[in-house]
Structure 1
């Protein structure tokens, strides 16, 4: 109670410094005189609500969060946590960045693990209101203290932390995926679908094709089961359940086929990959397609066309390049992944793609300057694109272009921690070093130095 009295003494001191009495200060702060008297003079004193504390703070002209370290005792009046004060106080602390107060309150709450449920609910309140970063300390607390390994809130906490952690750094993304993966199957259906899709994307960026295949298979199977359950209940005139996924259900179903085919393609299994295109080339049969669903179905149709071109080209057949070029003119968002595949095939089979590069390269470079391709998924493709372009220019003896694109590949791969492209770029630059200008060598050495400094 000593700290509580100290908080009240600070309030009394502030009132005296303003030359006011309870009545005049109550009018200034908007707090009823009787309530104010009970707060300061009651026996025992009436607990202070967070709204009252902030009204007092504003009346004194203090910054938000004033005396929050002393207010903690109000949350544990008589030694027990009071949820009506604890929950809004923790949320407000999160908004103000008062992690010191948050950790102190959480430490006291965790003296009894039954309060983990309250901590989880606070995390969800923050997350669903868009305060993602503010919610993470609470999810971490749940992860560290939830005693039931199969608890749904434990799985959701891991899922939220995983989604929040995904960014440009591939190594961090891998650690986050490995931490989350064992809990994906314990999630509610809507989160599980999102979780499986994100896992396939992370592993795709990392080139872990076996993992992409595994999770694409699971995504395809699980989304099919969810779809069948929904359509069955509809036929039985059962009450229709709302599936609150981030994307339309058709996205998860189609991505299961798309990502499986992508993984097979990158392993050189072109004929097998071609079979999976049939799974997403025409999804117009999908029931309950709203406007968004129809748009997604059209995207899969275009991706199927592009991937048929890709597989034909990867087999070493450049005869479709003219048709592919016309397709890309109509669908410019597909240019980066498509031209990347064309480059890889040209480097492997030795055919000429100058017309393709003349048509699309200037636009791609301009879009890069405008940060058009800014997702982790696209940044990895972009770094590989620069490397493949450097390789192509090397084979065509355009050494200055080759060196510049090598440096771009190295810079971007270091930034996103794509070690595979970084190693390839270093090896290619060393091969070209004797042809490099002094400023190119200096830029290369500066990039290598950043790797040492950040190791």
Structure 2
């Protein structure tokens, strides 16, 4: 009990330094004199709650987390973990970044693996409160110590870690996806829907079309099955409780078809892509639609219109350029993906689009504007990935116009973004591009290229 007595000795010393007794310090702190007496002089001493510990800390004017390393013993009073103290203490440690204390407590808890369930509950409490990064140390602990491979909490822990790891870094996204994949099918339905959606999105951004298509197929089939089950429950039970999904159910269903269409588009199978557009163009037949779901249905109508025009441009039908340009003006969320399509098509079929580039030039000059588009439904990773592609294809466009300096500028912008997000597909194009046209580059461009190469090697 040595560390416990040390904690109590510190409290007694603090009271003495203030020139107070139990009664006067009780008035200062708001803790009853009798409780202080029981905490410090009881036989055995009364355990200190976390709330009391933090109240004492504030009364002493000490920083948050004061004496937390010694408070750990209070969590294991009489040698056994007390959940009423352990759980709030670990949550508070996570909030304050006290990983030293967390590791010590977890190490002691894991002497008996039945406490893995408590660790998982703490992780869920933090995650659902929006403290995602703080929750990860607990989910990792569950992953490392869960005895049952088919445990739902093991699958959910992998899912939470996967969601937290997804970002702008393509290589990290791939590692996260590979680690999570074996557990997606073991998730409860509401998480499995979102897991399939996220896997589809990750492989789409990595341009691994076959795998993206596989998960899109799974998403379509699984969301359709969930929809049928939910419809049956709604009809059968008077008090119908809908499945609490992160997004409306119609979102998962439509997104599966959208992803399949994009997969066929990326592989040049435009007629197949058109067939999939019709699958999500009008989802108003869905019977489970609240206000949020209605908005998703409207989004899919918009996506369908955008993607029909998209395909016409990709097929070289330039008579749709004006219509597409007007559509993009009215729907700024679609400007980036639309610009990419137009630039790629112009390079493939040899037509020029100076007026369209000029019209949307602010998106190319001030990339911050892209992230400030109101009601944008694209995440930062998708936007950044699209920008790196746009810059590369603009470089190709200006080479066609023999405007070499501008072309090289865009290739360097593309290289810079692709290094940042570790997009190997793009920077492996940018490097030979620069080398091919190096003789046309300015001194400043050569210096920027060399600096980017050094950055790439440092981050390799």
TM-score, length-normalised on structure 2? 0.96
Secondary structure at 2:360's aligned position in 1?
helix
Q: Does 1:377 align with 2:382?
A: yes
Aligned-partner Cα distance in 2 for 1:122–1:339: 46
Secondary structure at 1:58's aligned position in 2?
helix
What per-residue deviation string (whole Å, max 9, x for no partner) do you get for residues 209-235 of structure 1? 011101100111111111111112222
Aligned-partner Cα distance in 2 for 1:243–1:396: 56
1:54-453 residue pairs with structure 2 within 5 A?
Answer: 54-368=54-368, 371-372=371-372, 375-453=380-458
Most deviating of 26-35 and 96-105: 26-35
Query: Contact 2:230–2:242 at 8 Å: present in 1 too?
Result: no
Aligned-partner Cα distance in 1 for 2:409–2:364: 16
Query: Contact 2:231–2:288 at 8 Å: present in 1 too?
Result: no
Q: Does 1:49 align with 2:49?
A: yes
Note the C-alpha offset of 1:238: 4.9
Q: Mind listing any 5+ residue stretches in structure 1 that lack a counterpart?
A: none
Query: Contact 2:418–2:424 at 8 Å: present in 1 too?
Result: yes
Equivalent residue pairs, number: 455
Out of 447, 452, 459, the position equivalent to 1:454 is 459
Query: Contact 1:233–1:239 at 8 Å: present in 2 too?
Result: no
Secondary structure at 1:221's aligned position in 2?
helix
How well do the aligned residues superpose, as a CA RMSD in angstroms? 1.4
Most deviating of 218-227 and 302-311: 302-311
Aligned-partner Cα distance in 2 for 1:320–1:202: 31
Secondary structure at 1:155's aligned position in 2?
helix
Structure 1 partner of 2:13: 13
Aligned-partner Cα distance in 1 for 2:446–2:394: 19
What per-residue deviation string (whole Å, max 9, x for no partner) do you get for residues 62-116 of structure 1? 1111111011000001110000110011111111111000000000000000000
Note the C-alpha offset of 1:154: 0.8
Q: Mind listing any 5+ residue stretches in structure 2 that lack a counterpart?
A: 374-378
Query: Contact 1:336–1:364 at 8 Å: present in 2 too?
Result: no
Secondary structure at 2:282's aligned position in 1?
coil
Aligned-partner Cα distance in 1 for 2:61–2:363: 55
Note the C-alpha offset of 1:364: 4.3
| CA shift in 2, pair 1:70/1:283, >3 Å | same
Note the C-alpha offset of 1:41: 1.1
Note the C-alpha offset of 1:349: 2.2
| CA shift in 2, pair 1:311/1:30, >3 Å | same
Secondary structure at 1:140's aligned position in 2?
helix
Query: Contact 1:309–1:324 at 8 Å: present in 2 too?
Result: yes
Aligned-partner Cα distance in 1 for 2:328–2:310: 12
